[in-house]
Amino acid sequence: MSVPRATYRIQLTPDQDFAAVRELVPYLRDLGISHLYLSPSLTARSGSTHGYDVVDPTTVSAALGGEDGLRALAAEGLGVVLDIVPNHMGVGDENRWWSDEDERVRVFDYDPEDGWYRRFFDIDDLAGVRVEDPEVFALTHDKVLELVRDGVVDGLRIDHPDGLADPAGYLRRLREAGVAHVWVEKILSASHPVEQLPDWPVEGTVGYEFLGDATALFVDPAGEGVLTHLFADLTGETRAFPEVALETQIAQATTTFAREVARLRTLLDVPGIADALAAIPVYRTYADPAEGPTSLSEADLAAIAATDASEELQRVLRLEEPGHESFVTKFQQTSPPVTAKGVEDTAFYRYVRLLALNEVGHEPDRFSLSVGDFHARNLHRSEHQPHGMLTTQTHDTKRSGDVRARIGALASVPEEWRDAVTRWRGITAGLRPDGVPDGGEELTIYQTLLGAWPITAERLEGFLEKALREAKQHTTWAEPDEVYEGKVQAFATALLEHRPFLDDFVPFAARMAAEGRRSSLAQTLLKLTVPGVPDLYQGDELETLSLVDPDNRRPVDWERRRTLLTEVVGGAGAPEVDAAADPFSAGGTAAFDRRKLALVHAALGLRAELEPVFADGAYRPLDAGEGTVAFLRGDDVLVVVGVRDWRDATIELPSDGAGRWSSVLDGADVEVPTDGGGPPRLPVADVVDRDGLALLRRHPEAQ
């Protein structure tokens, strides 16, 4: 199988099963997709809505249509990338291995002496699997490997490899078993220095790091100071994000994961274990007890040193103290859930300076990304992960790409945003007689409304319940304060009908929506053209204003997408979006949807036509100033994206760039003249559309 040209993530459910997805294949093929990217499809717990609670990995889910349904879907002609869950399974009577105590000890990471077992994060009914054991690997992977051998499945997406005892060994075993294409759900730290993917036999990650890069590229660095002061004024929080995150990670290590820490202490009785789990600056290190100290990379050693743990504990983690290999393995399996629950599921809901940055694969203290750094990141991906996935939304993201783009636009108007929040707090003072919500919660509400407007009260209430409980400041999942939650929800939903607020809010939100849409189109074009495999999340080819799950797993209006694609393919093209039009009107939304869909269709069509260029062609950054991203793919594709202040910029092309080029987006020809013997120069304004976008291919006569 060749590397996917573009993947399309489908969240399977009993209502959207293999048979239903078969009906979508003609639409997805016409859109330009080469591979379906299916959510977990092996037999999960009865009633599962996501498939990550597998109870029998030896069979394909009957609720989704069974193995015959999966094979019939694969026979429709699109490739299949399958999401699998090697780290854990659901416990209970439906799992025959869990029900038998001897099998439980053999298959699961389970201690019979005290009933202790390794959980998936803090979920008691998901138990860790001993997949590092060759017999258990075979037991849990024979069906998947059969599907790969039979050509039903072309590649695998590996869920949470950081939970495994030996991720590198597991991935090597997959490769040896004949799985040619593997992507890992590995979250890399975006802090400095930026964490790199270990040297694993995989195509790359599922693309969270690109998501963070693309978001930060369109956040104006000039807004950082004002937004930081606004956040501090409303919350009293003056610490930088890493300090907030360390506090929440320590809280998780000493409460939610106290059971895991206690188990570690039975293996090594030294102080500071919880603090070290919290302070490690990456999800985990990858010391291999079988190979000893030489297995640690420089990055691993730096991460261990950054914990500021005792020298004894650091020596153990560096495998310099024989006899503690089991402790090191368990420590490395425990730090990821401490980090994830402390950072993504707590600190991200507290440090709400700019919610566009609070996303898996990104960190709020990296406020913006320069054009130069964006190019550098793409060059690194081109060299090390040329076939890694590129995404702007997944089933795990806190907000869709369209929502993040709108919120990110606030950094371009920081003073206006500060003044607007101040006005709105005054206008709505009567809605918070007892001071609820607090300043941070109110800031979250305003940003959420801006990002997802228009939004129903039901969706807003559902989001706020999760956001409040994840923040763990006034209510939690374990001990919910429904009275407090109700007050916050009542305030937020009252805004939806509060005329004085709406009269001020809606015009401002409309401006952010217009700028967010431009940014969304730009990020989409970059995703479809930089090195890597672009991944679309179901429905995201049109405007998708979704929030954290389960909101982002709502049913998709497939018929509307089919109809619009028929119009685009039939020549309706991508209409210009009137900047003065109401972006929230049906007409404004429809125009943007056709424009986004036409962009996706055109770019994927070019990828299909010039597949070698995008699969393996060079990425050549071009100098166009700090406000414009411009690059060549190979010799024959030119991409230009205005980030900010691009209208007077000029692109310096290589000497072979002169000649005729054709716009893939509107069909117009562009002539690049020679410049008196010097490098050809191309004014950005001469080639981009009103949104600052251009996708050009060298005219056949000039090749």
pTM, entire model: 0.96
The single residue listed with the structure tokens 């566009």 is 356
User: Given a cut of 90, is residue 194 above it in pLDDT?
Assistant: no
Q: Output the average pLDDT for the chain.
A: 95
Instruction: Give the pLDDT score at 678.
Output: 78
With beta carbons less than 8 A apart as the criterion, state whether 469 and 480 touch. yes
Sorting pLDDT into bands at 50, 70 and 90, what band is 249?
Answer: very high
With beta carbons less than 8 A apart as the criterion, state whether 207 and 531 touch. no
Structure tokens at 485: 């939650």
User: What average pLDDT score do residues 465-483 get?
Assistant: 97
Structure tokens at 456: 């129903």
**First-to-final CA distance of the chain:** 30
Distance CA 201, CA 161 (A): 13
Instruction: Give the pLDDT score at 587.
Output: 86
Sorting pLDDT into bands at 50, 70 and 90, what band is 583?
Answer: confident
User: Given a cut of 80, is residue 489 above it in pLDDT?
Assistant: yes
pLDDT, tens digit (0-9, with 9 covering 90-100), for 306-353: 999 999 999 999 999 999 999 999 999 999 999 999 999 999 999 999
Structure tokens at 5: 């040209």
User: What average pLDDT score do residues 445-472 get?
Assistant: 98
CA distances from 420 to 216, 435, 495 (A): 23, 19, 15
pLDDT, tens digit (0-9, with 9 covering 90-100), for 36-47: 999 999 999 999
User: What average pLDDT score do residues 639-663 get?
Assistant: 92
Sorting pLDDT into bands at 50, 70 and 90, what band is 553?
Answer: very high
pLDDT, tens digit (0-9, with 9 covering 90-100), for 491-505: 999 999 999 999 999
Quick one: which of 335, 524, 504 has its CA closest to 425? 504
User: What average pLDDT score do residues 643-648 get?
Assistant: 93
With beta carbons less than 8 A apart as the criterion, state whether 84 and 42 touch. yes
Cα radius of gyration rounded to whole Å, the chain = 25
Is the dihedral angle over the CA atoms 524, 525, 528, 530 positive or is it negative? negative
Helices 439-452 + 457-471 axis angle, to 10: 140
Phi-psi region of 43 (alpha: psi -120 to 50; beta: other; left: phi over 0): beta
Phi, psi at 672, each rounded to 5°: -105, 110
- Bigger pLDDT: 363 vs 355: 355
User: What average pLDDT score do residues 537-556 get?
Assistant: 96
Sorting pLDDT into bands at 50, 70 and 90, what band is 136?
Answer: very high
With beta carbons less than 8 A apart as the criterion, state whether 522 and 643 touch. yes
H or E segment to which residue 60 belongs:
strand 54-60
Q: Could you state, in order of their start, the residue ranges of all structural domains in the chain?
A: 7-86+129-185, 238-349, 413-508, 557-616, 618-702
With beta carbons less than 8 A apart as the criterion, state whether 547 and 452 touch. yes
Instruction: Give the pLDDT score at 701.
Output: 67
Instruction: Give the pLDDT score at 595.
Output: 95
Phi, psi at 607, each rounded to 5°: -60, -40
What are the residues facing 83 on neighbouring strands? 157
User: What average pLDDT score do residues 440-455 get?
Assistant: 98
User: Given a cut of 90, is residue 191 above it in pLDDT?
Assistant: no
Parallel, antiparallel or unpaired: strands 110-111 and 54-60: unpaired
- Cβ count near 153 (within 10 Å): 24
pLDDT, tens digit (0-9, with 9 covering 90-100), for 381-399: 999 999 999 999 999 999 9
Instruction: Give the pLDDT score at 575.
Output: 58
pLDDT, tens digit (0-9, with 9 covering 90-100), for 272-293: 999 999 999 999 999 999 999 9
Distance CA 344, CA 367 (A): 16
With beta carbons less than 8 A apart as the criterion, state whether 690 and 520 touch. no
Instruction: Give the pLDDT score at 114.
Output: 78
Structure tokens at 50: 């996501």
CA distances from 583 to 294, 586, 588, 599 (A): 58, 8, 5, 19
User: Given a cut of 60, is residue 577 above it in pLDDT?
Assistant: no
User: Given a cut of 60, is residue 703 above it in pLDDT?
Assistant: no
Read out DSSP for 345-402?
TTGGGT--S-GGG-STT--TT-----HHHHHHHHHHHHHH-TT-EE-S--TT-SB-HH
Instruction: Give the pLDDT score at 580.
Output: 58
Fold of 413-508: Arc Repressor Mutant, subunit A (1.10.10)
User: Given a cut of 90, is residue 582 above it in pLDDT?
Assistant: no
Instruction: Give the pLDDT score at 659.
Output: 87
- Bigger pLDDT: 362 vs 58: 58
Q: For 150-257, where are the alpha helices, taking DSSP H only?
A: 167-176, 208-217, 224-235, 241-254
Instruction: Give the pLDDT score at 585.
Output: 86
Fold of 7-86+129-185: TIM Barrel (3.20.20)
With beta carbons less than 8 A apart as the criterion, state whether 206 and 188 touch. no
Instruction: Give the pLDDT score at 658.
Output: 85
Instruction: Give the pLDDT score at 643.
Output: 97
Instruction: Give the pLDDT score at 190.
Output: 85
Lowest mean pLDDT among 290-304, 448-462, 575-589, 606-620: 575-589
User: Given a cut of 80, is residue 9 above it in pLDDT?
Assistant: yes
Lowest mean pLDDT among 340-344, 362-366, 406-410: 362-366
User: Given a cut of 80, is residue 581 above it in pLDDT?
Assistant: no
Sorting pLDDT into bands at 50, 70 and 90, what band is 115?
Answer: confident
With beta carbons less than 8 A apart as the criterion, state whether 403 and 451 touch. yes
Structure tokens at 602: 């055109």
- Answer CATH for 618-702 from 1.10.10.10, 3.40.30.10, 2.60.40.1180, 1.20.1740.10: 2.60.40.1180
pLDDT, tens digit (0-9, with 9 covering 90-100), for 512-522: 999 999 999 99
- Bigger pLDDT: 674 vs 694: 694
User: Given a cut of 70, is residue 675 above it in pLDDT?
Assistant: no
